[in-house]
């Protein structure tokens, strides 16, 4: 969905790291692997619509409750405000959700604008990863974007493709979170998919891609992703939240190969109107082959 701000601003480049990492209030315990091998990991992706439900009302308590019900170890979030504006009370949604859920957090801004008042926090909007497992490292990669903050945008590299490495019972797992272009013309998404594949190809170890792709599974622009990744198909649409008709939110995982295999044991779409999207949840078994 396009962004709207009441006052036009100049897009500023975010820092290379672009990540806020906070410790949880409690230790993590991961169940022992089943006899068949592999480490169990529950992941989810959720476009939180800047904290607003399908009714248009901002309600972070409602979204916190929905996220708690998922009981996920790792969650990728899209449309996350951090001191962005009135619509979310100028609050740090990534930080607040992490504290409430007692999880680590890494925030990757797409936009990082000058403070509304001198000395105040920067106004930021982007994606985030919440994790019950310790975050070893975090990066905010650039991919092709068509800025919503420029009245005459042209495709150009911009940040907001977040990556973290989490340690699951000693195994490093790469988790990426993304929000692809929403426009009907797929040209920008084509470039974003190419950028995504290039960035992910630089890493070794099990890989999980979470995000709002703004395209359905059979869309031609997504086809290159399925060369290296497996779609954890939940068998249900995700958008709009009430009576959904399209599946545009994804959990995708590295298949058997040099990155390490991840088996999808189960995936589903919980019913929810706490956002304009429904979340996707997947139970995985992770088998690594090194970093």
pLDDT 10s per residue in the chain (291 long)? 444 333 333 333 333 334 444 444 443 434 444 445 799 999 999 999 999 999 999 999 999 999 999 999 999 999 999 999 999 999 999 999 999 999 999 999 999 999 988 889 999 999 999 999 999 999 999 999 999 999 999 999 999 999 999 999 999 999 999 999 999 999 999 999 999 999 999 999 999 999 999 999 999 999 999 999 999 999 999 999 999 999 999 999 998 665 568 999 999 999 999 999 999 999 999 987 644
Q: In the prediction, which pLDDT does 289 show? A: 60
Give per-residue pLDDT as tens, 164-177: 999 999 999 999 99
Q: How crowded is residue 7: how many other Cβ atoms within 10 Å of its Cβ?
A: 7
Q: In the prediction, which pLDDT does 36 show? A: 53
Distance (Å, rounded) from C-alpha 277 to C-alpha 239? 5
Q: In the prediction, which pLDDT does 37 show? A: 73
* Closest C-alpha among 289, 290, 291, 287 to residue 40: 287
Distance (Å, rounded) from C-alpha 220 to C-alpha 135? 34
- φ/ψ of 220, rounded to 5, equals -55, -35
DSSP state, residue 121: -
Distance (Å, rounded) from C-alpha 267 to C-alpha 233? 6
Nearest 5°: the CA angle 100, 210, 156 is: 110
Distance (Å, rounded) from C-alpha 89 to C-alpha 232? 35
Q: Where are the alpha helices (DSSP H) in the chain?
A: 60-70, 93-101, 187-201
Q: In the prediction, which pLDDT does 10 show? A: 31
């Amino acid at each position: 969905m396009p962004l709207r701000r009441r006052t036009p601003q100049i897009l500023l480049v975010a820092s290379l790291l672009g990540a806020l990492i906070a410790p949880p209030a409690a230790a993590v315990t991961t169940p022992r692997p089943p006899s068949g091998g592999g480490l169990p990991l529950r992941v989810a992706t959720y476009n939180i619509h800047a904290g607003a439900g399908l009714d248009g009302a901002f309600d972070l308590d409602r979204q916190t409750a929905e996220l708690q019900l998922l009981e996920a170890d790792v969650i990728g979030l899209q449309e996350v405000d951090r001191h962005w504006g009135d619509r979310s009370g100028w609050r740090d949604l990534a930080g607040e959700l992490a504290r409430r859920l007692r999880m680590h957090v890494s925030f990757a801004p797409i936009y990082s604008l000058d403070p509304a008042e001198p000395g105040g926090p920067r106004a930021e909007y982007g994606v985030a990863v919440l994790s019950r497992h310790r975050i070893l490292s975090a990066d905010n990669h650039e991919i092709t974007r068509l800025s919503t903050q420029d009245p005459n945008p042209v495709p150009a590299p911009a940040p907001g493709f977040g990556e973290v490495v989490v340690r699951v019972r000693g195994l490093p797992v790469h988790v990426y979170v993304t929000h692809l272009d929403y426009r009907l013309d797929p040209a920008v998404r084509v470039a974003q998919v190419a950028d995504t594949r290039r960035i992910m190809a630089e890493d070794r170890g099990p890989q999980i891609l979470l995000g709002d792709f703004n395209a359905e599974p059979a869309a031609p622009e997504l086809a290159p992703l399925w060369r290296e990744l497996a779609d954890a198909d939940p068998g249900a649409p995700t958008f709009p939240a009430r009576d959904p008709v399209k599946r545009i939110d994804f959990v995708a995982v590295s298949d058997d190969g040099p990155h390490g295999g991840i088996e999808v044991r189960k995936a589903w779409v919980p019913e929810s109107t706490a956002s304009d999207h429904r979340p996707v949840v997947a139970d995985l078994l992770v088998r690594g082959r090194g970093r």
